[in-house]
Structure formats: structure tokens, C-alpha cells
Amino acid sequence: MIKLVLWLFSVGLLFMPAIIAQPAGDDLINPYYLFFETNGSFFETIRVGFEYGTSHKFDIIGQIFFVLHSWLWIQFDYFTGLNHIWFYVATKASIFALVLVSGTYWVFQLLRQVHLIISFWKLLYLVTAVAGATVQIHNSWSNDPVANYPLSGYASAIFSFVVLALLVKHKSSDSSKDLLMISFWASIAILYYQINIALLAAMCVFWVTQSWSKIKGRDFLQPLKTGIYLFLFPAIVVFYGSFITSGKTENYDGTSIGEWTQFPKTTLIGLVGTIPGGGWRLSERYLGSLLFPGWMSFLVLAVLLVILFSFWPNSALQKSAKIPISCVLFLTPALAFWVAVVSIQTVTLKYQNEIISIGHVYNFYAHGHIFAAGAIVLLLLVTLQKSLRWGAGLVCVIAIFGMTQFQINSQLRTNARDANYESWKLLNAFNVSLDDAARCDAWKTWASIDWVEYYEQHMGYGYQQAFKTLHNQDFCSTGTNPIP
């Protein structure tokens, strides 16, 4: 129990700027827009989720999850009386925790392949420390999955790294049960969010690697069976999804192929922007200057040093079989997945138009971030086995880097909050205990901004309807109709 509490504290501290960043963009209006669309009905919400999941993308599980989250968000606000941001905070904290468990499971399976057994709990702390030290907010970029919507980025990565772990665990298995289990979880990952089609690249690497020796021995039947079992469920999902969404994607740039000449540049920007520190130049342009680290940043430094140095000196690690350089081969499926998950979005017209500078990212950042954290963990363990001096140096570099990144993230979060003060004020006003004048003032302050028409209308109608339905009174007696 103590291990769990201390780990949750570590997650909360290291990811704090991202966790407490206020909702903005579509995150802000979605709960209210959905309430307006469904009149707060649970069953109508499920219907809308199914409809969304069969529109331009085939991701039924994810869309139903998304709309349920919005429905629960409003219910949470009403029954607890807490500020609107609390449910959002709880959601992000939970997703970060789960993706760290998923990423640790993947690293755990990688280490088992080289017969290095480390306690899952201890490895979880290490992955948490490295991931927490390298996570970066891209607050000047509204598509950032770190500070903004986590349900499509990091939540989909939870499924991804379970599949990648299974590919490592069963890399030598011909069991139809094992292969079908991988196939099943890959299809669930795709149905959660379509970006996980990139898992097919990792599965192809797995299949070729596993089948190569048999093909060289002229045994063609077993590789054929392996391929059928491995790709069965994802193939059904992809082909059936293409049939369901046929003709519905032409008006959505996010599923329209862009310029092939632009694709390499956009992909490179996406890959570089994902690695640790890749967003620093963008952050510098946004912040102007970095403040001297506050006490929270030094607390982060201390926590990182304690976690990282718990592996040094480590007699069990020193006496274990050396991690061979060939261990990098076990990273190949995940590497293929990372490149593919970036490419899936950078090949489209929407993202080629938006990802124009290093640090501009989208949902693929979540997958790349966890992949990079896992790779750094392996590098650290290899370094500690070969040289304690170099290992200690790497520990210090990671810790100082993490303190700096935390300071950057904190400033970005603060600046974004100040820049979105009107939205912050409106969120706080969804409270029946406030007087009418305060609520009217919050709405007028928010509506004075030159919002896009659809945004203001969705927010206005849904916000008012939710307040009226739940509290049986007008949000503002002087009227809050959106400005056409």
C-alpha cells in the first residue's frame, strides 16, 4: 500500500503541470455541447457515441468512451458541487498512471528477454521517473495531448503498449492462442482510436522476424498460419470500418491524403518534436525567458534523484547477465510503431497544414513519449551495468533535465491559464452557490472574446441548458444568448 501511495505521489508531482492544466478548445465545450445534443440523456449519449464512431473514422469504443466521459463530467459537477476542472484533473491523472503501467509492462517484457528480472514495482518507479522527467507541454499548440485532451492520445497509448509488450512476450511462440490474443488486443486498440492502426507496422516486424528462419528452411505453411492468426481481428476491423465509413471522409482533412512531397518534412518535424527537449525551441518562443526554478522544481529534482539512484549501486543488477547490445533488436517493433504512428497523421492534409515547426505535435506525441522513456530506461540500465560512474552521470543528467522540463511546463501552464482567463472564470461560474450577477459577469466576459461562431453557440446553448436542467434556474437572468 505504501508503494502505491508513494508512486501515485510521484506521478502527481512529476506530471503536475499537465494534470492541472485547465481544459481549453474542444475540451471546454464538449461536455456542454453533448448535453445540448442529448438533453443530458445517458442512452442518447451512447447513441451519439456510436454515430461518431462510425463517421469519418471507425473507432466505436473510443467515441463511446469519449461521450460517456463528457456525460459523467457534468454529472460529477452536479452531484459533488466541485469546480468543473476537478473531473478533468482526475481523468488526466488516471490516464497518465495507466499509461505508465502499460509502458512498464512493455519494458518488463523487454528485460525478461535478456533474463534481467527487476521487480515490476521498482521498474514502474523508474519508468515513471524517466517519463515524468521528459514529458513536455506544448501549450502554444492547441493540439498538444499532454496539457489538453488526453483521452485520444495517452489513453490510446495504454492499449498500444499492451500490444507491444505481448509482441515481445510471445516473440517465439507459434501458439494460436497467443497469436489470437495479440490480434484481439490490437483490434481493441484500433477500435479505441484509429491511430493505433500503426500497430500493424509493429506486427509486421514481429511476423517477419518470427517467420524468417522458417521461410529460409522452406517451411511456408507455419508463417502463413502465423499471419492469419496474427492479423485476423485487425483485418476484420480495418476492412469493415472502411466499408462503414466509406464516403464519409471526403470532407475531413484529417483522413484526406496530403502532398507526398510534404510528407517527409512533416514526419521529420513530428519525430524530432517527440524526443525529449524537442519542444524547447517552441517553448522559448512562447515564454521568452525561463524563470529561476521554484521550490517545486527542486522537489522534482530531489524525487528524481531518489528514484533514479535507488538503482545504484544495485548488486542484483551488477551480478545479472549483461544486457547485450542486441537487446536493441527487441525494440524494433516498437520503433516501427513509433514511426508509423507519426506517419499516419503527417500523411494527411490537416496535419501537413498544421505541423510546420518542430514542437508542433498531435496525438502521436503520447506514443512517442512513452517509447522514448522506455528506450532511455534501457539505456540507463545498460550504462549502470557497464559503468557505475557513467551510470551516475546519466542519472544526474536525467534529473537536471527533468527539473528544467518541469519548470518549463509550469510556466507554460501558468501562461496558458492567464491567456485563457475568460474560460477559467466561466468554468468557475458553473456553480449554483454563486449569485446571479457573478454568473452573468462570467458569461459576458467570456462572450466578449471573438470566438468562432460554432464554438460560441455550442458553448452557449449547452452551458445554459445544462445549468437550467440540473439546477432548475437560469444561469443568468439577463440572458446569455450567443452572439450570432
Read off the pLDDT of residues 167-199 as tens digits, 9 standing for 90 and up: 999 887 778 898 999 999 999 999 999 899 999
The answer on pLDDT for 142 being more than 70 is no
Quick check: 190 and 59 in contact, CB under 8 A?
yes
Q: Which of 108-117, 222-231, 322-331, 403-412 has the lowest mean pLDDT?
A: 322-331
pLDDT tens, 331-386? 889 999 999 999 998 888 888 888 888 888 888 999 999 999 999 998 888 888 77
Q: Of 336, 377, 344, which Cα lies nearest the Cα of 110? A: 377
pLDDT of residue 202: 93
Q: Of 142, 152, 143, 153, which Cα lies nearest the Cα of 65? A: 152
Q: What is the DSSP string of 177-217?
A: HHHHHHHHHHHHHHHH-GGGGGHHHHHHHHHHHHHHHHHHT
What mean pLDDT value characterizes the chain? 84
- What is the helix (H) or strand (E) element at residue 30, kind and residue range? helix 26-38
The answer on pLDDT for 295 being more than 60 is yes
- Greatest Cα pair distance, the chain, in angstroms, is 81
pLDDT of residue 484: 38
The answer on pLDDT for 452 being more than 70 is yes
The answer on pLDDT for 231 being more than 60 is yes
Return the higher-pLDDT residue of 130 and 149. Answer: 130
Quick check: 138 and 282 in contact, CB under 8 A?
yes
Report percent pLDDT > 90 for the chain: 29
Average pLDDT, integer, range 254-277: 84
- Gap between the Cα atoms of 172 and 113, Å rounded: 11
Return the higher-pLDDT residue of 484 and 415. Answer: 415
CA 437 to each of CA 152, 302, 304, 461, 466: distance values in angstroms, whole numbers, following the listed order: 37, 46, 47, 19, 19
Quick check: 436 and 427 in contact, CB under 8 A?
no
- Gap between the Cα atoms of 77 and 79, Å rounded: 6
pLDDT of residue 472: 85
